């Protein structure tokens, strides 16, 4: 997930994103950023999320856990 946090930092326009950071603490965290994160997850992991899927997600670590749980549910 190191690459995931790196890509999040690019989207959020910061040097580093840690698993326990709060998304709301990032100045660029808004609805357009949410869409960018969803697009990145779809492109990189093949997981289709909706903005409502992120409603209860507060940290990058929680989002990474959601991605991991969705990946294990995919048929390979």
How far is residue 35's CA from residue 53's CA, in Å, rounded to a whole number?
12
Per-residue confidence of the chain (76 residues) as pLDDT tens digits?
Answer: 889 999 999 999 999 999 999 999 999 999 999 999 999 999 999 999 998 999 899 999 999 999 999 887 654 4
17's tokens: 């994103």
| The pLDDT of residue 71 | 84
Is 2-72 CATH 3.40.50.2000? no
Q: Where do the domains of the chain lie?
A: 2-72
- The whole-model pTM stands at 0.89
52's tokens: 């409502």
């Amino acid at each position: 997930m190191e690459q995931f946090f790196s890509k999040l930092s690019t989207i959020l326009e910061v040097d580093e994103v840690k698993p326990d950071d709060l998304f709301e603490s990032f100045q660029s965290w808004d609805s357009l950023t949410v869409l960018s994160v969803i697009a990145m997850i779809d492109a990189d992991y093949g997981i289709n999320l909706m903005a409502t899927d992120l409603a209860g997600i507060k940290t990058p670590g929680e989002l990474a856990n959601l991605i991991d749980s969705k990946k294990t549910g995919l048929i390979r």
